[in-house]
């Protein structure tokens, strides 16, 4: 069984890590990757020894790539084409009848929000993306919550399978040797990691509001990420007088190593599917504060593993941070992290992900 994965190639977040982990688990020769632009994903795939092909587009509207895509897939004698993201979905939708093999797609995020704040163009892209699902043979949703969203958008429920994200819990973290002093942190600081793209949907401004309300200089927030609203976030931090508490660390490949320096991880998103970053926090045994989004409740089963708070509510974030800090002082925060780790390792391992994907491939063939 040979599978080719197709993705735009510009991804830097969870979908990139998901795909690289999945491809790295396949025996050599059984899986290949096609990307439509050079970027971090392409570089990482080459470094891992994955069979990766670059079919570069001059722009996202460049349809001359369609012929190359058909020829590449046919030449590889693949049994299945597996796409990730709206651009790969659209291109495969346009060539599906020429391929004569099953088409599988993984939906990593809520399709109704993929083009948020893009105006009329975004609405058109959103409609087109949903239209492509009609020709797929199988759809993987990364949470039951996302499966429900797809069904609500009119996708046939019989073609949707929930397969949660997974990571390798036994591999070491990247970036060994990090110390708190590297980020101007003190031993008695209460340190929060927020690993998230700088985008309105991720809720950074809510976290700043909670931090301002807390008025506790010992609480430090490490922001790992980059994105279109970076300057807005930096300006807000200055306006709110939080510069001494907030560290902008930029995009990093060693997010797990950064989280291992902290007391808790925080996710304040308005929408998610099943956040991979929470599994990474579980891997380093750090409990989580998260908004009630996507499949988070499948990971944080109760308040012995972390806190789930309402979306868009800075006061609830504030209260959860206060509780977490109190529990740290009582010495029980590490126990919470250990419980989260054991649950995540048992249910969201890379082996579980790979087995579920492979079994569904075999079923559809």
pLDDT, tens digit, for every residue of 229-259? 999 999 999 999 999 999 999 998 888 999 9
At 61 the pLDDT is: 83
Residues 287 and 301: their CA atoms lie apart, in Å, by: 12
Position 108 scores a pLDDT of 87
Query: CATH for 3-166+349-364?
Result: 3.40.50.2000
Mean pLDDT estimate for the chain: 91
Instruction: Give ∠ CA 98-108-276 in degrees, rounded to 5.
Output: 140
pLDDT for the residue numbered 116: 67
Contact 35, 8 (CB under 8 A): yes
**Distance from C-alpha of 343 to C-alpha of 164, rounded to nearest angstrom:** 14
Cα–Cα dist 157/151, whole Å: 6
- Give the CATH class of 180-347: alpha beta
pLDDT at 117: 66
Q: What's residue 102's pLDDT?
A: 97
Mean pLDDT computed over 115-137: 82
DSSP secondary structure of 154-195: T--GGGEEE----B-SSSPPSSTT--GGGGT--TT-EEEEEE
> Would you state the pLDDT for residue 171?
67
Which residue from 252, 253, 266 is spatially nearest to 191, judged by alpha carbons?
266
- Of 71, 65, 80, 91, residue with least CA distance to 2: 80
What band does 184 get if pLDDT is binned at 50, 70 and 90?
A: very high
Q: What is the pLDDT of residues 103-114, one digit of tens each?
A: 999 998 887 776
pLDDT for the residue numbered 356: 94
Global pTM?
Answer: 0.85
The residues of the chain that CATH labels 3.40.50.2000 are 3-166+349-364, 180-347
Please tell me the predicted confidence (pLDDT) of residue 292: 95
The number of beta carbons lying within 10 Å of the beta carbon of residue 327 is 18
Does 153 have pLDDT greater than 90? no
Instruction: Tell me what the mean pLDDT of segment 46-61 comes to.
Output: 90
Cβ count within 10 A of residue 59: 6
More confident call, 310 vs 128: 310
Compare 39 and 102 and report the one with higher pLDDT. 102
Percent pLDDT > 90 in the chain is 73
Percentage of residues in the chain having pLDDT higher than 70: 97
Least confident of 23-37, 66-80, 234-248, 276-290: 23-37
Instruction: Return the DSSP state at 251.
Output: S
């Amino acid at each position: 069984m040979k599978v080719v994965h197709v993705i735009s190639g510009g991804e830097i977040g969870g979908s990139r890590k998901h795909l690289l982990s999945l491809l790295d688990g396949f025996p050599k020769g059984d899986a290949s990757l096609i990307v439509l632009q050079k970027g971090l994903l392409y570089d990482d795939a080459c470094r891992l020894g994955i069979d990766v092909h670059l079919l570069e587009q001059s722009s996202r509207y460049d349809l001359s790539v369609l012929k190359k895509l058909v020829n590449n897939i046919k030449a590889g004698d693949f049994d299945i084409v597996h796409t990730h993201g709206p651009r790969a979905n659209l291109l495969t939708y346009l060539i599906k009848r020429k391929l004569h093999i099953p088409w599988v797609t993984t939906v990593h995020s809520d399709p109704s929000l993929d083009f948020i704040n893009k105006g009329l163009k975004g609405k058109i892209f959103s409609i087109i993306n949903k239209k492509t699902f009609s020709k797929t043979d199988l759809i993987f949703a990364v949470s039951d919550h996302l499966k429900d969203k797809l069904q609500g958008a009119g996708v046939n429920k019989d073609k949707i399978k929930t397969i949660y994200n997974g990571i390798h819990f036994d591999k070491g973290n990247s970036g060994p040797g990090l110390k708190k002093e590297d980020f101007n942190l003190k031993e008695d600081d209460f340190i929060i990691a927020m690993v998230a793209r700088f985008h309105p949907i991720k809720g950074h401004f809510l976290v700043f509001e909670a931090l301002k309300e807390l008025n506790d200089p010992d609480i430090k927030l490490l922001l790992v990420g980059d994105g279109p609203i970076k300057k807005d976030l930096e300006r807000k931090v200055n306006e709110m007088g939080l510069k001494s508490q907030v560290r902008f660390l930029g995009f990093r490949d060693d997010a797990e190593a950064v989280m291992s320096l902290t007391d808790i991880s925080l996710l304040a998103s308005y929408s998610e599917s099943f956040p991979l970053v929470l599994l990474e926090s579980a891997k380093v045994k750090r409990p989580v504060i998260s908004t009630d989004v996507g499949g988070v409740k499948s990971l944080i089963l109760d308040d012995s593993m972390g806190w789930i708070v309402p979306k868009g509510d800075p006061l609830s974030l504030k209260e959860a941070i206060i509780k977490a800090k109190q529990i740290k002082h009582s010495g029980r925060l590490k126990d919470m992290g250990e419980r989260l780790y054991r649950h995540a390792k048992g249910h969201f391992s890379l082996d579980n992900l790979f087995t579920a994907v492979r079994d569904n491939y075999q079923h559809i063939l």
